[in-house]
Amino acid sequence: MDSKREAFTACQQDEGARLDSFLSAALEGVTRSMAQQLIAAGNVLLNGAPAPKSARLHAGDEVACVLPPPRETTVLPQDIPLQIVYEDADLLVVNKPKGMVVHPAPGNYENTLVNALLFHCRNSLSGVGGELRPGIVHRIDKDTSGLLVVAKNDAAHQGLAAQLAVHSMTRVYQAVVYGRLRQDEGVIDAPIGRSSKDRKKMAVTEKNSKRAVTAYRVLGRYRGFTHIELKLQTGRTHQIRVHMASIGHPVAGDPVYGPKTVIDELGGQCLHAGVLGFRHPRTKAYLEFTAPLPEYFTKFLHKLQREESV
């Protein structure tokens, strides 16, 4: 797996921050000690030149970092039950439960979807994703439930990844969001990039961003909430959560992009990847799968329906 290059521009909020602290906040899954190791190895440039870990940043500084390919890890198979919706020699479609992390990250190598897949598939997973993400073509957040396609070989992985790249996969979600949406349907076309205020979050921004498009339609309105269906036309990190928050209707239960007072009963955002469609990388036949709303979602809807009828 090749090295990965990341580049960031320091903003006003980063003024005076140490280089190692800035990097650990900007890079997902990278601790401060790991950032210091990258700097010491010469993998980080500040305005085109090496700099010490204690270098203080100024607004407008350019930070470039080369992330080496992941080293072989001891990610072990675990006999964790999987809800498999479809499986053949090339791929499988899994209905991921809420609360399960998709792939291991530094310091967390157990109880992930990858651990379960390694047990279920034995040695039959693509290697394109590297040691930490074998077979993983795309991901959904830990507290988002729903459908994922997993590649069993490199050819299938490349074929599926190509469809993701041109946004030809069908990916439809359901969510409950705060507030009552006035329009019955709409399209949010707003670029998403790393937040300048909090490097661990994404945001609608013109700076260092990529185009992101989400279409939505209302399925039901309740007291203080709206049940909606969303169709991804692109696939950016936290896209639905960021887009809905940007128009004043964050996903219910979202601890990151929602209100400070979180709906504890949901255990995270009320968001479900319910429909997944793609062309089979070998046969070219179009396949589409549906996962019903999970219990946490339907219980919350029933509660809203009861409150609306009072």
- Residues 6+ away with beta carbon under 8 Å from 217: 184, 185, 228, 229
Class of domain 84-166: alpha beta
The neighbouring-strand residues paired with 64 are 7, 45
CATH 3.10.290.10 in the chain is located at 4-67
* CATH classification number, 172-273+301-309, choose in 3.30.2350.10, 2.40.50.140, 3.40.50.300, 3.60.21.10: 3.30.2350.10
DSSP H stretches of helix in the chain: 19-26, 32-40, 113-121, 154-165, 239-246, 295-309
CATH 3.30.2350.10 in the chain is located at 84-166, 172-273+301-309
Q: What pLDDT score does 73 carry?
A: 55
Q: Which two tokens stand for residue 239?
A: 């896209």
Q: Tell me how crowded residue 83 is: count the other CB atoms within 10 A of its CB.
A: 11
pLDDT tens for the 310 residues of the chain, in order: 566 788 888 888 788 989 998 888 787 667 788 889 999 999 999 999 999 999 999 999 999 998 877 555 578 899 999 999 999 999 999 999 999 999 887 667 899 999 999 999 987 898 876 777 889 999 999 999 999 999 999 999 999 999 998 999 999 999 999 999 999 999 999 999 988 777 778 999 988 788 999 999 999 999 999 999 999 999 999 999 999 999 999 999 999 999 999 998 999 999 999 999 999 999 999 999 999 999 999 999 999 999 987 6
Q: What pLDDT score does 309 carry?
A: 78
Q: Which two tokens stand for residue 48?
A: 């085109």
Are the beta carbons of 196 and 11 closer than 8 angstroms? yes
Q: Which two tokens stand for residue 30?
A: 């990278």
Q: What pLDDT score does 2 carry?
A: 62
**Residue 139's Cα: distance from chain center in Å?**
6
Q: What pLDDT score does 33 carry?
A: 82
Is 184 labeled as catalytic in the residue annotation? no
* Closest-CA residue to 67 (of 95, 30, 111): 30
- What is the homologous superfamily of the domain 4-67 according to CATH? RNA-binding S4 domain (3.10.290.10)
* Set 14, 61, 90, 141: catalytic member: 141
Q: What pLDDT score does 26 carry?
A: 80
* Closest-CA residue to 33 (of 52, 61, 53): 53
